[in-house]
């Protein structure tokens, strides 16, 4: 365990230096000493960012579930692996030990094998936050099937797009899900999605809400009876280091969502190593990340990273508002949570409530607080620090992405300093740099530019499913020989990074990445709409909210615009999901365009943000006259 756990600032600097000077020996040692391999690697790293091609631990063989479960059985068999906290606080929490996880994952894996799911097949998982979600993810990994988890808040259209893109042959879902006082008909959404998915042969259905659902003969099967008769042992598939482990979709600034492909060995090593250090996890800790497993945060820091360390990881089914705004803190007290990891949008929403919701509960078990998903503003940072951490629990502001697989820039609590609104220092192995718009690296320590990464790290996504060219164009073509993150950042004179936000047309709403193009496509589908442009504007809880400028085919007075706004949002909900709904919709006669016909989003963004006095030079626009009209009618 020599260089696995960083405990002092000297160890951090030493590890960082070594990871840059000799990355192969650095990662080789971590991988060799802290994981089980069926066969060791031939080379630690091969890479070429011009293609781009990256492989870690080439030649090695392993199964990630042996590292997440089997190897813990002799020492941690009776330790809780998953602590499930249901939506309804009066329903008992469930503790699933490592031994039980082994049996349940094996049974599930055997069911998949019986259904002829084979190594390399894609399986879509569309489940609420119940233990079956983590178990099905691991069951896929056990037999080498590639899981593609789709967040269960996505609509039928979004689901079918993702199922078809990677050609899933199976969908795992449930009869429904509980969210606060609502019940959502997940099976109905799957049925609707599958009307457009010919490749899906089987659907496995877990029972959660016990509602009536339609089961399609031959295709749909209840999960439990199959599990009941399945063996509790399942020989793990032998995986090559670079075999894909999963696909996870993320929005791009244009077009289809991108199916980011993560591979097995590098992802395992990196998520385990970063989990241990960023959360300073100790054997008796109870760790809780509030994300959904449908996002990368849940994959890396609810399932794989924690389990690879033999940790106890909480799965929470519900929402922060149910039965009231004290729910998170009630859970912290109830389970004596030691590490708590959430999103700035949740912190901002919680901070707006009566402080009595916090004060009611004993939060003294907390040691480390974390945030992820978007920049955290100073006020929210201090509220979190003062009221939740009581000034004693360092806040790890972790910057990373679906594409990076694991945390890249973050404080290490009790080791490196925290600074409000700064993600601070790169973790060992991460070589960030800042670039100017003409492609030059900014070499001064204090600088502000586009954030790139110069050198491969083990958990980076290897490609976009079915579209390597897009992977190359999006991430490796903008700056030569560097991975471009899409974010802007500032570096202070001691080398700490502050992420300033996206520099492309991706908008982060409540921590969810949304591309403007697919939302505009949904709006444009409305028969009354001629054209639309969507931009983000600052929102005090969501971080950003969406503002739509919509040109109608006929701008007549007779149309009821309230209804039209509802219909447009309904369409967005159907095509993408409720997270992409527009907060404001302004009907307009035109959109500001350049002479080549490109919408000048910069102007629209400023107007939506209430900053319409400083629009800069608009005289070069094709139609400068529309700007006055838009300003006049701003909402
Ligand atoms: O803009 C950055 C922002 O979230 C983007 C990645 O989103 P996603 O792939 O959904 O992954 C989110 C969870 C890892 C980044 O490009 N972001 C993420 N973390 C931070 C952040 N922005 C500022 N500070 C952060 N800590």
pLDDT digits (tens, 9 = 90+) for 277-311: 999 999 999 999 999 999 999 999 999 999 999 99
Residue 348 Cβ inside 6 Å of ligand 1? The answer reads no
Q: What is the pLDDT of residue 559?
A: 56
By most ligand atoms within 8 Å of CB, the mutation choice from 487, 497, 502, 504 for ligand 1 is: 487
Cα–Cα distance for residue pair 550/532, rounded to 1 Å: 4
Residue 239 clears pLDDT 70, i.e. is over it: yes
The model's pLDDT over 244-289, given as tens digits with 9 standing for 90+, comes to 999 999 987 677 899 999 999 999 999 999 999 999 999 999 999 9
Atom of ligand 1 nearest to the CA of 376: 24
Banded model confidence at residue 215, pLDDT cuts 50, 70, 90: very high
Say which CATH superfamily domain 510-632 falls into: ANL, C-terminal domain (3.30.300.30)
Atom 14 (ligand 1): residue with closest C-alpha?
Answer: 401
Cα–Cα distance for residue pair 418/267, rounded to 1 Å: 26
Residue 400 Cβ inside 6 Å of ligand 1? The answer reads yes
Peptide bond into 323 cis (omega under 30): yes
The residue-averaged pLDDT of 413-422 equals: 97
Atom of ligand 1 nearest to the CA of 499: 23
Banded model confidence at residue 597, pLDDT cuts 50, 70, 90: confident
CB contact at 8 A, 148 and 246: yes
Residue 510 Cβ inside 6 Å of ligand 1? The answer reads no
The residue-averaged pLDDT of 379-391 equals: 97
Percent share of the chain, pLDDT over 90: 88
Q: Is 499 exposed, middle or buried (0-12, 13-18, 19+ CB in 10 A)?
A: buried
Task: Spell out the long-range contacts of 212-219 with Cβ–Cβ below 8 A and sequence spacing 24 or more.
Answer: 213/175, 213/176, 213/185, 213/187, 213/188, 214/187, 216/191, 219/194
Average pLDDT over the chain reads 95
Q: How far is the CA of 263 from the centre of ligand 1 (A)?
A: 21
Q: What is the pLDDT of residue 175?
A: 98
Residue 250 Cβ inside 6 Å of ligand 1? The answer reads yes
Q: How far is the CA of 601 from the centre of ligand 1 (A)?
A: 22
Q: Which of 436-450, 494-508, 605-619 ranks highest by mean pLDDT? A: 436-450
Q: How far is the CA of 288 from the centre of ligand 1 (A)?
A: 19
Residue 370 Cβ inside 6 Å of ligand 1? The answer reads no
Residue 518: CB atoms within 10 A of its CB come to: 23
Q: What is the pLDDT of residue 558?
A: 54
Closest CA to 466 of 60, 168, 113: 168
The residue-averaged pLDDT of 49-73 equals: 98
Cα–Cα distance for residue pair 49/106, rounded to 1 Å: 38
- SS3 at position 188: helix
Banded model confidence at residue 557, pLDDT cuts 50, 70, 90: low
Q: How far is the CA of 485 from the centre of ligand 1 (A)?
A: 10
Q: What is the pLDDT of residue 515?
A: 86
By most ligand atoms within 8 Å of CB, the mutation choice from 401, 409, 425, 459 for ligand 1 is: 401
Residue 560 clears pLDDT 70, i.e. is over it: no
Atom 24 (ligand 1): residue with closest C-alpha?
Answer: 375
In this structure, of 60-64, 181-185, 524-528, the range with the lowest mean pLDDT score is: 524-528
Banded model confidence at residue 221, pLDDT cuts 50, 70, 90: very high
Q: What is the pLDDT of residue 262?
A: 98
Residue 107 Cβ inside 6 Å of ligand 1? The answer reads no
**Could you state, in order of their start, the residue ranges of all structural domains in the chain?**
510-632
Residue 499 Cβ inside 6 Å of ligand 1? The answer reads yes
Residue 151 Cβ inside 6 Å of ligand 1? The answer reads no
Atom of ligand 1 nearest to the CA of 423: 26
Q: What is the pLDDT of residue 255?
A: 73
Q: 508 φ, ψ to 5°?
A: -100, 110
Residue 1 clears pLDDT 50, i.e. is over it: no
Residue 398 Cβ inside 6 Å of ligand 1? The answer reads yes
Q: How far is the CA of 298 from the centre of ligand 1 (A)?
A: 13
The residue-averaged pLDDT of 195-218 equals: 97
Banded model confidence at residue 602, pLDDT cuts 50, 70, 90: confident
The residue-averaged pLDDT of 146-168 equals: 96
Cα–Cα distance for residue pair 405/263, rounded to 1 Å: 10
Q: 509 φ, ψ to 5°?
A: -110, 120
The label of the residue with tokens 């996206």 reads: 502
CB contact at 8 A, 583 and 547: yes
Q: Write the CA distances from 204 to 147, 225, 416, integer angstroms.
A: 14, 11, 46
The three state secondary structure string of 374-438 is CCCCHHHHHHHHHHHCCCCCCEEEEECCCCCCCCCECCCCCCCCCECCECECECCCCCEEEECCC
The residue-averaged pLDDT of 372-388 equals: 95
CB contact at 8 A, 128 and 177: yes
Name the DSSP class of 446.
Answer: S
Residue 394 clears pLDDT 60, i.e. is over it: yes
The model's pLDDT over 335-360, given as tens digits with 9 standing for 90+, comes to 999 999 999 999 999 999 999 999 99
Residue 593 clears pLDDT 80, i.e. is over it: yes
Atom of ligand 1 nearest to the CA of 513: 10
Residue 410 Cβ inside 6 Å of ligand 1? The answer reads no
**Percentages of the chain per state (helix, strand, coil), in multiples of 5:** 30, 25, 45
Cα–Cα distance for residue pair 62/35, rounded to 1 Å: 9
The residue-averaged pLDDT of 525-552 equals: 94
* Sheet-wide strand order for 483-491: 432-435, 447-453, 483-491, 497-502
Residue 486 Cβ inside 6 Å of ligand 1? The answer reads yes
Closest CA to 413 of 366, 445, 361: 366
Q: What is the pLDDT of residue 153?
A: 92
Q: How far is the CA of 230 from the centre of ligand 1 (A)?
A: 40
Residue 297 Cβ inside 6 Å of ligand 1? The answer reads yes
Residue 363 clears pLDDT 90, i.e. is over it: yes
């Amino acid at each position: 365990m020599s260089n696995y756990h960083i405990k002092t600032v000297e160890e951090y600097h030493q590890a960082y230096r070594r990871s840059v000077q000799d990355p192969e020996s650095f990662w080789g040692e971590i991988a060799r000493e802290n994981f089980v391999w069926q066969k060791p690697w031939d080379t630690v790293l091969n890479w070429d960012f011009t293609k781009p091609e990256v492989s870690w631990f080439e030649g090695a063989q392993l199964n990630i579930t042996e590292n997440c479960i089997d190897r813990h059985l002799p020492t941690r068999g009776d330790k809780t692996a998953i602590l499930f906290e249901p939506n309804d606080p009066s329903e008992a929490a469930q503790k699933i030990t490592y031994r039980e996880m082994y049996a349940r994952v094996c049974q599930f894996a055997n069911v998949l094998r019986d259904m002829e799911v084979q190594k390399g097949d894609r399986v879509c998982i569309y489940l609420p936050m119940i233990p079956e979600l983590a178990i099905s993810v691991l069951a896929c990994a056990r037999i080498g099937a590639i899981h593609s988890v789709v967040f269960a808040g996505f609509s039928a259209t979004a689901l079918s797009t993702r199922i078809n893109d990677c050609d899933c042959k199976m969908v795992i879902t449930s009869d429904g899900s509980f969210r606060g006082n609502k019940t959502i008909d997940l099976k109905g959404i799957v049925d609707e999605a599958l009307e457009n998915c010919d490749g899906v042969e089987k659907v496995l259905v877990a029972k959660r809400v016990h509602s009536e659902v339609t089961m399609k003969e031959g295709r749909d099967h209840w999960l439990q009876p199959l599990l009941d008769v399945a063996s509790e042992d399942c020989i793990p598939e032998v995986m090559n280091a670079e075999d894909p482990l999963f696909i996870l979709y993320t929005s791009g600034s244009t077009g289809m969502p991108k199916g980011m492909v993560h591979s097995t060995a590098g992802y395992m090593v990196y998520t385990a190593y970063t989990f241990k250090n960023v959360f300073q996890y100790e054997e008796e800790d109870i760790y809780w990340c509030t994300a959904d497993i449908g996002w990368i945060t849940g994959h890396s820091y609810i399932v794989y990273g924690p389990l690879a360390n033999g940790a106890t990881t909480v799965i929470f089914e519900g929402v922060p508002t149910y039965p009231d705004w004290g729910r998170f803190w009630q859970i912290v007290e109830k389970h004596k949570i030691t590490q708590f990891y959430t999103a700035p949008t949740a912190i901002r929403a919680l901070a707006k409530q009566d402080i009595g919701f916090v004060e009611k509960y004993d939060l003294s078990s907390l040691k480390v607080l974390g945030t992820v998903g978007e920049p955290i503003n100073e006020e929210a940072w201090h509220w979190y620090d003062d009221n939740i951490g009581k000034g004693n629990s360092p806040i790890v502001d972790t910057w990373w992405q679906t594409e990076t697989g694991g945390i890249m820039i973050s404080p290490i609590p009790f080791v490196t300093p925290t600074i409000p609104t700064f993600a601070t220092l790169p973790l060992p192995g991460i070589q960030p740099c800042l670039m100017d718009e003409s492609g030059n690296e900014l070499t001064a320590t204090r600088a502000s530019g586009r954030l790139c990464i110069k050198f491969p790290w083990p958990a980076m996504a290897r490609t976009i499913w079915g579209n390597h060219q897009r992977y190359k164009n999006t991430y490796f073509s903008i700056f030569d020989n560097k991975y471009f993150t899409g974010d802007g950042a500032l570096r202070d004179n001691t080398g700490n990074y502050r992420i300033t936000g996206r520099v492309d047309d991706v908008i982060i709403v409540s921590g969810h990445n949304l591309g403007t193009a697919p939302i505009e496509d949904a709006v444009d589908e409305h028969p009354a709409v001629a054209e639309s442009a969507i931009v983000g504007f600052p929102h005090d809880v969501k971080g950003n909210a969406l503002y739509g400028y919509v040109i109608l085919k006929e701008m007549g007075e007779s149309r009821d615009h309230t209804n039209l706004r509802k219909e447009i949002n309904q369409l967005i909900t159907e095509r993408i999901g409720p997270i992409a709904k527009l907060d404001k919709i302004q009907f307009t006669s035109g959109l500001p365009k350049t002479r080549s016909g490109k919408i000048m989003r910069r102007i629209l963004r400023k107007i939506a943000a209430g900053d319409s006095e400083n629009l800069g030079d608009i005289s070069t626009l094709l139609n400068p006259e529309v700007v006055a009209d838009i300003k006049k009618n701003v909402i």
